[in-house]
Structure 1
Amino acid sequence: MMAALRPSLPHDDDNWAFELKWDGVRAVAYVRADGLELISRNDKDMARSYPELRALTGMVHEPVVLDGEIVALRDGRPDFGLLQSRMHVQRPTDRLVRSTPVAYYVFDLLQHGDRSLLAEPYTTRRRALEELDLNSAPVFTPPWWQGGGEAVLAASIEQGLEGVVAKPLTSRYLPGRRGPWIKVKNVRHQEVVVAGWTPGEGRRADMIGSLILGVYDDHGLRYVGNVGTGFTETNLHELADRLHPLEHADSPFDTTVPGPVARTAHWTEPELVGEVAFTEWTGDGHLRHPSWRGLRPDKQPEQVRRD
């Protein structure tokens, strides 16, 4: 179940639950005594990438289905850049797991034993989740608050967190749908489809200078700008390795691309999804001051639409 992006929180506070928004990878966990599946938004099982989360199998006495966020922490706060070093690794070494451990922050319980909780209200699901007492590393159940949304949002800003999610107290869980949940972000992020690159100059000659970005709408893939900042040298080499095999002679866009971009573009098949931080959308629908955050292997290109 997804949340819709909104510029502000609801005013009828007492009818809503407020949770902090965690900057990580969404995962639905199917937990049984004999195994664990961690299913991403594009229906991929990520359990092999996060072997430390197999601890979940010994933390519950009956099979459960949980919803939550996989995060990597730096100074006690989720750090998406740090999580990048784990997201693309199918079989991480023991050294990588020790150096960059992850945690699973659980915020919903969808099934407990043979009992489905999908039709139950939010408050019933949360009470049942808290009774599982999932609060030892690497799995935690973060708090929620009834009312006081502005105070929760202020606390998220003070702690340098991504934002707040608001959920009606009576809301059922609607799998795969964008229901009545809403999210308010402190920093604007946008998923993007990588559709090509332009060559670098100066010290980045012979490397990627910027990535050409798009999002889908009802008319196809639409150009939304280029991003040339936020990369490490390692990022640039990894992106080059991923993009060169996808190079294609023709533009994948269904809209016009500005001439200066098109003249130097190396087009690719639109198969890679990434994420950028940015300040605002311009009047012509482009990202203003985007900065690269990383690839999103948990997303399908066709899912990428403007938030």
Structure 2
Amino acid sequence: MKKLIGLSLLFTACASLPPAGPHAFAPPPPPSTPLQVCWIDTGGLTTPGGYGAGGSTVAATWEVTSAALVIRHPEGDLVLDTGISLQAQEEQRELGAWKRFIFSQTAGRNVPRRNLKDALTALGVTRPKALLLSHVHADHAGGVASLPDVPVWLAAEEKQLIEAELAHPRGVALPAQARALEGRMVPIPFVAEPYANYESRFDIFGDGSVVVVPTFGHTPGSVATFVNVSPSLRFVHVGDLINLRESIERNVGKSWLMRQLTDEDLSRTQAEVAKLVQLHARDPELLILPAHDRRAFVELFGADDGGVPPCIGEPKRSGPG
């Protein structure tokens, strides 16, 4: 592993991103519905900081979470990503040798921490309105099988990826998880209306509280999700576009090694990271939340003491779930 980290640092010593192209900025309207959002830390690990971001990292270590977020809205509960499966080590045995190696260096290194279904029960979530996936990698789609009757929202391009995996597996998704998605996938109906510095969006509840934008590159249908907890507390969950929040301040992408092992389209992913840098410059009060930066989650939600998962915002006032 140390040799791999050294190789990654060598290739990313001068890793600054080119700037994103000029883009109009459409200020998001103030949210009208208070939310409660809870963090379920399904698994993780600690690894050298150079594994997470390009160049010379500020963080000596990268504290990893593979997380699910529960977004509690009066119209229902939404689960954003589902973390790592407790059966991931068994599920990876269906992969070919090369994909098993990649899995062993990425999602497969997670140590399980929480059972998604048990954590939802602790929060009082009986039936989510939907599952929303930032993308279909194993440490994001791992809990799909544990909620078999819940629809799964994902970009149409990501749905097509799973359909291709079911027909001719390449190992982009774990086969067991692809099968768990079959027949349940609902394409996100993006509309061509600007939001922040993005050209299209999908407002899930129609009130500006949770808005999804396409950020294709890491996988063909990766998305980012703006979560507006209150006018003064807003964040955007950016999936695996970056691994450490310091990438935004330092204007770098992920480490060379993580890009090579996990990004389906390297150049397109880097362009999307440049858009995040641009977004941060235009809206510095918006918190950018990488899906695997545990320190960023602790800063936002507080420490996870192993009891009821930590939450921010106001409990929902009515509705199913």
Higher strand proportion (structure 1 or 2): 1
Give the TM-score normalised by structure 2.
0.25
Ranked by relative contact order (alpha carbons within 8 Å, sequence separation 6 or more), the top structure is 2
Work out which of the two has the higher radius of gyration on C-alpha atoms and give 1 or 2. Answer: 1
Higher helix proportion (structure 1 or 2): 2
